[in-house]
Amino acid sequence: MQEILTKVDPSCMGVVLKRVMLRAASQVAEQAELDALVTGEAVAQVSSQTLTNLAIIDKASSKLVLRPLAFMDKGAIIDQCRAIGAEHFSAAIPEYCGVISVRPSAHLRQHKVEAEEARMNAQVLADALANAKVQSIDSVMKDIERGVSQVPEVSSPAPNQVVIDIRHPNERDLRPLRLSGAHIAPQSIPFYSLNSEFSQLDRSRQYLLYCAKGVMSQLHAAHLRDAGFDNVGVYRPRDHAVVEGDVQD
């Protein structure tokens, strides 16, 4: 994520992300002796899923990519999900919207995407795959639920607790976080820099991660706690008006 968000042009971010995901999936599939990849993409639902961009995405993998939902609209997909009994399972999967682009392009060119990818450090993906753990999706969900359940949540920070806004800088600038009372002003560390920067913070202080929906903050807090940082939790305000731009009742 850090490589994409700091080195790739915003117009290409979504497509580059999916190409990287296909490369990763292809390596896992090769090791598992699987012949095809399956995605839940539907044509034209988002900018990365136009026919032009899907063709560019497919070229990142030598595996056959199957898209059984390609020509279904969102309502039909939800109806089918409900019919086969998967609605509850799908709703429980945390949404991790890490790559945020304010200027995505629906009609990219192959050479532009490849030029942007060339700016990234390919070793980052290679290292991630070398250390990857392959699990079935139900095991992944159990691990996430177990980790998230151990993360303390705070709705009103104490004076000695530091709130860290982990949102993407664009989102943070658009809707700044402001804390009421005498609390310490929030710090800002984008989620993709947490791994490298959190270890440099004062270990004697308590830190609360904040994001708009609470999903990314929970996952990152759980990851940091697994890494031995027991001084981290999540800031989840009851009053959503703490973010400028929200509408108060």
Q: Under a CB-based contact definition with an 8 Å cutoff, are residues 186 and 240 in contact? A: no
Q: Is 211 a catalytic residue?
A: yes
Distances (CA, A) of 8 to 12, 16, 103, 104, 149: 7, 8, 12, 11, 35
Which of the residues 12, 81, 97, 211 is marked catalytic?
211
Burial of residue 65 (number of CB atoms within 10 Å: 0-12, 13-18, 19+)? middle
Helix (H, G, I), strand (E, B) or coil at 106: coil
Q: Which of 157, 158, 163, 148 is nearest to 216 (CA)?
A: 148
| Active site positions, annotated | 211
